[in-house]
Amino acid sequence: MVELPQPIYAEMLEHVRRGYPNEACGILAGANGKIIKHYPTANAADEPETFSIIAAQDLLNIWNEIEGHEWDVFAYYHSHPRTQAYPSPRDIAYAQGWPGTYYLIFTLKDGPEQPGLRAFLIQNSAVQEEETHIIR
């Protein structure tokens, strides 16, 4: 189960709405199974309307801060502006580099004011949906 603190969820939602109609992305750091910090990032993909990726230098900076605090990369999140909140074949391939990391996907297919959010663990191309709860 993924428990998202309400303030972090609100920040993520604002980030994906600002990125619309392109995909938006970011990372959540965690410790002891709890989300600690939100890292919204720019989408560095060549085709940002259909894919998201974090620039190498941004990723390195985030990774160094997370390791410096002895946290973990809890989740990679991104939006699907025109499709459902389910991992695409490219998402599944990309997830192979993030084993044990949750994939959180927002859908904005019904518009940015009607978002949906789903969480997944993707391991060896197997997609497993996880429950998501917004906590106060």
* DSSP conformation class of 111: -
pLDDT in tens, 38-60: 999 999 999 999 999 999 999 99
CATH classification (class only), 2-135: alpha beta
Count CA within 13 A, CB hemisphere, residue 16: 33
Domain ranges in the chain? Answer: 2-135
- Contact 40/26 with Cβ under 8 angstroms? yes
Cα gap 124→130, rounded to integer Å: 16
pLDDT band at 90 (very low <50, low <70, confident <90, very high): very high
